[in-house]
Homo-oligomer: A and B are copies of this chain.
Amino acid sequence: MQSKTLKVGIVGGTGYTGVELLRLLALHPNIELTAITSRGEAGMPVADMFPNLRGYVGLNFIDPAQADLGSCDVVFFATPNGIAMQQTRALLDKGVRVIDLAADFRIQDIAEWEKWYGMTHACPDLVAQAVYGLPELNREQIRTAQLVANPGCYPTAVQLGFLPLLEAGLVDVDHLIADAKSGVSGAGRKAEVHTLFAEAGDNFKAYGVGGHRHLPEISQGLARMSGKAVGLTFVPHLTPLIRGIHATLYARLDKQADLQALFEQRYDNEQFVDVLPKGAHPETRSVRGSNQCRIAVHQPQGGDTVVVLSVIDNLVKGAAGQAIQNMNIMFDLPEKTGLEIMPLLP
């Protein structure tokens, strides 16, 4: 394996998913980082913007027009929504495989996508051929995919939590509830008032209860798992963490089953999903900086409501780490390559 070296490009490297890709790729033994583009910061050393990379990443940001992305084996888009769909076809035509960390290729129903994202889709045909990059669900299709739609952060935590229940057909899928809490880095590295330290610190709030862009993505995934449309109430919250998502999931049980065994068996072979012992409560810090998802399943007071607790690092398993996991699968590398990272605790 040590002889394989992939040429990797990153489009749009100035956000948190960009720096996280760099943090992880810098120590990945099988890649060579070819180019990282930024329209606004072309010429600036990457490590000037992200001082954690000093000594590890010597590249400068390069203008997209100058970047030779066509010679890469794989290109990651760490761009705002709506950029990847403009540039992906040209790369695919040159044989470059593409992993989009934004939402451009995640939703198969184009009208639905256009409603939530407020723009006309540039390439519906590519959406149809894109593979949704949740390895625990779609590993085989990912292997051969030319274009991977990397899942959103909330969708990753929520789907992995519901997956065993829906596949087993145990719950009322018309009334699923996902109460999800995200750290502030989920809002990105954008100059905005509501995510200032003095606004988001020592504060907790729900947002987007009327509708959030991750709702259709999650619903689409849950429908695939259960084989029919689902009814989902999704309430995201902003919590004063830097990193981390905690999804608390509720469903009504239609039948009884050994839920602990169900979850353990479903994820038995998954390297990045860790089912905790019965009665446990996963903490977001237990996955901080790593690609792990940790899950616990509860049935309070033995009633008919099942509660699933699912935590990820939104920037790793919820973004850059999962993208690299997908890359590893696509290029037949061991799935953990470059992702053997111990979570940082405390």
Contact = CB atoms under 8 A, between A and B. Distances in A.
Interface in A279-332: 279, 281-290, 292, 294, 298, 300-301, 303-305, 307, 309, 311, 315
Q: How many copies does the complex hold?
A: 4
Contacts of A287: 52
A179 interface: yes
A192 B191 contact: yes
A141 to B, nearest CB: 27
A73 B51 CA distance: 36
A310 to B, nearest CB: 10
B346 A344 contact: no
Contacts of A231: 303
Given A19-B345, A274-B55, A344-B23, A184 B198 contact: yes
Given A175-B305, A202-B285, A235-B300, 4 more contacts: A54-B274, A56-B342, A201-B240, A233-B305
In the complex, which of the residues A175, A203, A231 has the most CB atoms of chain B within 10 Å of its own CB atom? A203
A52 B241 contact: no
Interface of A: 16, 19, 23-24, 26-27, 50-56, 175, 177, 179, 181, 183-185, 187, 189-193, 195-207, 209-211, 231, 233-235, 237, 239-244, 246, 248, 250, 252, 274, 276, 279, 281-290, 292, 294, 298, 300-301, 303-305, 307, 309, 311, 315, 340, 342-346
A76 to B, nearest CB: 17
B300 A204 contact: no
Contact of A237 (B177, B181, B198, B315): B181
Nearest to A309: B206
B248 A206 contact: yes
A281 B206 contact: yes
A205 B284 contact: yes
A189 B195 CA distance: 11
B346 A300 contact: no
Contacts of A304: 175
Contacts of A23: 342, 344-345
Nearest to A316: B344
Given A210-B300, A248-B237, A344-B52, A189 B181 contact: no
B175 A177 contact: no
Q: Closest 6 A-B residue pairs measured CB to CB?
A: A52-B343, A51-B286, A52-B345, A184-B197, A205-B283, A203-B285
B237 A246 contact: yes
